[in-house]
Chain A
Amino acid sequence: KNEVEQSPQNLTAQEGEFITINCSYSVGISALHWLQQHPGGGIVSLFMLSSGKKKHGRLIATINIQEKHSSLHITASHPRDSAVYICAVSPDYSNYQLIWGAGTKLIIKP
């Protein structure tokens, strides 16, 4: 079993729909990261959080430390949101390492 599990692996939705991507982890962490990767490769950090909730534009990330679970929400989804969304955690036993989820491929149809 992977230490970071994401669901779903693939998600296709219509423009305007509310999107939720989930991440569960099994190790102690100092932080959890949500990142976005567009076709072509570049990865962009969306959020880094260790408790509660963060919001940036139409993106919201939440984390429940007790349940070892995080969600990424996209409100009013748009075709430009189509990308791979990756969850990664900073394990509390390393200052450098990130443990990566496999990613969720999101397609938003117009």
Chain B
Amino acid sequence: ETGVTQTPRHLVMGMTNKKSLKCEQHLGHNAMYWYKQSAKKPLELMFVYSLEERVENNSVPSRFSPECPNSSHLFLHLHTLQPEDSALYLCASSPYQGSGGPYNEQFFGPGTRLTVL
């Protein structure tokens, strides 16, 4: 399988549930990203990992917990979510070249449509 894959594609969960979103990239990239896309709003960057280390966290609530066990896999663990967390969650990867290097385009997965009841 090629590109960036995400599972599940759709997820419905209650506010007390614990679930995880999975992202896998087969492109040999070393930077991975989680984004949230709410209706009629621009994409919001949640987390960035480079070489498996978290390098940016845009003040995301602690009910979202990322995990990057290796450069090909990225997880987003969810617990005690709120209905306003319902959104499309997108994973992306890029071939980050390090400080001072040119920025490279990001490649996106198909997203997980999350509904919190």
Q: Measuring CB to CB, which residues of chain A are less than 8 angstroms from any residue of chain B?
A: 2, 4, 30-31, 33, 35, 40-45, 48, 86, 88, 90, 95-98, 100-103
Contacts and interface: CB of A to CB of B under 8 A. Distances in A.
Contact of B101 (A44, A88, A95, A103): A95
Contact of B50 (A43, A88, A96, A97): A96
Contacts of B105: 33, 45, 48
B42 A102 contact: yes
Interface stretch (B60-68, B76-84, B107-115): B107-115
A42 B102 contact: no
Interface residues of B, number: 30
A24 B101 CA distance: 24
Contacts of B11: none
Q: Which 8 A-B pairs have the closest CB atoms?
A: A41-B111, A100-B42, A43-B108, A90-B103, A42-B110, A48-B105, A100-B43, A45-B105
A95 B107 contact: no
Interface of B: 31, 33, 37, 40-43, 45, 48, 50, 55-56, 88, 90, 92, 96, 98-99, 101-111, 113
Given A95-B103, A96-B50, A41 B42 contact: no
9 contacts: A30-B102, A41-B37, A41-B111, A42-B109, A48-B104, A88-B43, A97-B56, A98-B45, A102-B42
A31 B104 CA distance: 9
A7 B2 CA distance: 34
B110 A96 contact: no
Given A43-B90, A102-B42, A96 B56 contact: yes
Given A95-B96, A97-B45, A101-B42, A40 B110 contact: yes
Contact of A42 (B42, B56, B96, B108): B108
Given A96-B50, A98-B45, A41 B55 contact: no
Contacts of A35: 108
